Every structure is written in structure tokens, then in C-alpha cells.
């Protein structure tokens, strides 16, 4: 059977200590296969960003395991996790995180360059990614010379650039109007159909509906899943596949 690109098993994440401990996630199991796009919905504070941070190796679980492309992140050194992040994971942050001193194309090329791709090649790939989300014409602009929606698309291009196997997007359509938001989802969907695994956090049901599966988070717990693809894989116990 196909191996999941991302597998969370019994993942719990607590913040703080003693009386003020917040359980951001409580025993979450989630597997995302190649070619699959999974949406995560839930009220504010339900643990969506926490889940994405853990999946992207930006944070570590209090208990449970996070496996990306067969590698349990807990067994890796910080440097190895950083390498997985650069090579395998494309991340669109809720607050964009574009570097203000770099142009759009430089922002997008940065992860490739950090990973040792030569300047010219990195820039070519960056331009293609910008074209893909419809902001190729803005390649030379700095973030503060672009609208919120344009910056958002640059952030998405940065997550798509290079051969990423796992795409993690936290509210990527937040600042976009409905047709532009839809274009971005088409791009994300196409990447998944080409073999990547995607996790999309969104408040908008209309956007979540682009996913094969929608997972509903409530107070750090997965309470339900929808979609025709929700049945088989997700009902198997963690570790039962792959």
C-alpha cells in the first residue's frame, strides 16, 4: 500500500505548565497520502496552526509521533529536521513571513538557495512558481509594494517552489477575493494531483471543499471527517498502513 507522506500518530501538544497548561492538541491521528489534499477546519484556538507547525517540523509534540516521508522527526537532529523542512516541506504561514528586504522573486528563491541550488536556477524556478499563482509580473517588487493578496500569492509561490512533497498551508486564501482564492486552490489541487500531499487550514468551507477530505478539529481533537475519501484510510489504526 502507498506510504503516507505525513503521518501523525497520537499527537499531543501542551503549552505552559501546571495550572495554566493548555492542551492545544489531544491524541490526533492523521495520515496524508501522496496525491491527497486534506483540509483542516475548526474554530479559532482549536489547534489548527499547532497541527501544521508539528507537521512541518517547526515544533515538537509533547507525546506521539510525526513522520514525514518515513522519517520520525523525533529521531532526527535539529539540522536534519531543518533539511527535511527545506527539501520536502512547502509552508505557507498564517502571517506570510515574507522578508521585507527581499523582492518577490528573491523571497521565493531563498529556500532553494539555502538548499544549495545555484542562483540562476533558483531564480528561474522562482519565476515559474510566481507565474503559476499569477504574480509573475511582480517579481521585482518588495513586499511593502504589493497588496495583501499579492503578498499572499508570493508566499504561496515560495511554498510551491522546487520539488516539495508535503505542502502545508495555513489560511492561504485569507486576503484573497473569491476568484483569486479559487485560482490558488486550483494550483494547490494540481500540485497534489501531481503527487504531493497537502494540508490546508481554512475557515472557508468553500475552500475546504477543494480537498479530498475535510477534518474537523474541536478543542484539539479530531471530531469528524467528511468526503468520499474519509472512509477507508482514516479508519485504519495508526501504523496499519505503509
Partner 1 sequence: MHTAYAYSVSMSIRHGLLALLERGPSHGYQLRAEFDAATGATWPLNVGQVYSTLDRLERDGLVVQDGEPDADGRIAYRITDVGQAELRGWFASPVSAKSAPRDELAIKLALAVTTPGVDVLRVVQTQRTATMTGLQELTRLKTRVHDDVELAWSLVLDSLVFRAEAEIRWLDHCEARVARAAAERRSAAAERPAPAAPPLTTGKAGRR
Residues that bind ligand ATP (CB under 6 A): 15-16, 22, 24, 42, 44-50, 94
Residue 57 has which C-alpha cell? 517540523
Q: Does 231 bind partner 1 (CB under 8 A)?
A: no
Distances (CA, A) of 62 to 11, 24, 59: 8, 10, 10
Nearer to ligand ATP, 171 or 233 (CB): 171
| Closest CB 132 distance from ligand ATP, rounded Å | 26
Distance CA 115, CA 184 (A): 25
Locate cell 487550514: which residue?
A: 201
Give the DSSP H or E segment for 213.
strand 213-218
Q: Does 226 bind partner 1 (CB under 8 A)?
A: yes
Strand 213-218 and strand 221-226: the pairing is: antiparallel
Q: Does 50 bind Mg ion (CB under 5 A)?
A: no
Query: Which entry of partner 1, ligand ATP, Mg ion, none binds 22, CB below 5 to 8 A by partner kind?
Result: ligand ATP
Nearer to ligand ATP, 43 or 140 (CB): 43
Q: Does 33 bind partner 1 (CB under 8 A)?
A: no
Distance CA 171, CA 94 (A): 6
Q: Does 242 bind partner 1 (CB under 8 A)?
A: no
R_g of the chain, CA atoms, integer Å: 17
Contact indicator for 10, 64 with CB cutoff of 8 Å? yes
Q: Which residue of 186, 195, 236, 239 would you call a contact of partner 1, by CB under 8 A?
A: 186
Contact indicator for 74, 66 with CB cutoff of 8 Å? yes
Q: Does 209 bind partner 1 (CB under 8 A)?
A: yes
The 145-174 contact track toward partner 1, x by CB under 8 A, reads ------------------------------
- Name the residues that contact Mg ion, by CB under 5 A: 49, 94
Amino acid at each position: 500500500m502507498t506510504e503516507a507522506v505525513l503521518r501523525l500518530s497520537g499527537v499531543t501538544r501542551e503549552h505552559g505548565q501546571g495550572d495554566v497548561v493548555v492542551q492545544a492538541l489531544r491524541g490526533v491521528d492523521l495520515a496524508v497520502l501522496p496525491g491527497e489534499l486534506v483540509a483542516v477546519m475548526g474554530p479559532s484556538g482549536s489547534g489548527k496552526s499547532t497541527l501544521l507547525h508539528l507537521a512541518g517540523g517547526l515544533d515538537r509534540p509533547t507525546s506521539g509521533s510525526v513522520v514525514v516521508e518515513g522519517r520520525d522527526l523525533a529521531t532526527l537532529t535539529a539540522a536534519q529536521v531543518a533539511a527535511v523542512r527545506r527539501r520536502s516541506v512547502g509552508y505557507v504561514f498564517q502571517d506570510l513571513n515574507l522578508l521585507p528586504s527581499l523582492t518577490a522573486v528573491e523571497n521565493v528563491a531563498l529556500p532553494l538557495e539555502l538548499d544549495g541550488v545555484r542562483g540562476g536556477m533558483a531564480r528561474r524556478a522562482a519565476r515559474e512558481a510566481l507565474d503559476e499563482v499569477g504574480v509573475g509580473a511582480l517579481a521585482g517588487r518588495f513586499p511593502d509594494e504589493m497588496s495583501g493578496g499579492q503578498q499572499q500569492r508570493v508566499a504561496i509561490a515560495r511554498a510551491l517552489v522546487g520539488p516539495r512533497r508535503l505542502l502545508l498551508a495555513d489560511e492561504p486564501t485569507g486576503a484573497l477575493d473569491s476568484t483569486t482564492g479559487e485560482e490558488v486552490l486550483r494550483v494547490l489541487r494540481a500540485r497534489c494531483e501531481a503527487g504531493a500531499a497537502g494540508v490546508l487550514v481554512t475557515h472557508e468551507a468553500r475552500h475546504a471543499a477543494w480537498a479530498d477530505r475535510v477534518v474537523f478539529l474541536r478543542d484539539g481533537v479530531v471530531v469528524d471527517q467528511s468526503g468520499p475519501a474519509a472512509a477507508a484510510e482514516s479508519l485504519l489504526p495508526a501504523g496499519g498502513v505503509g
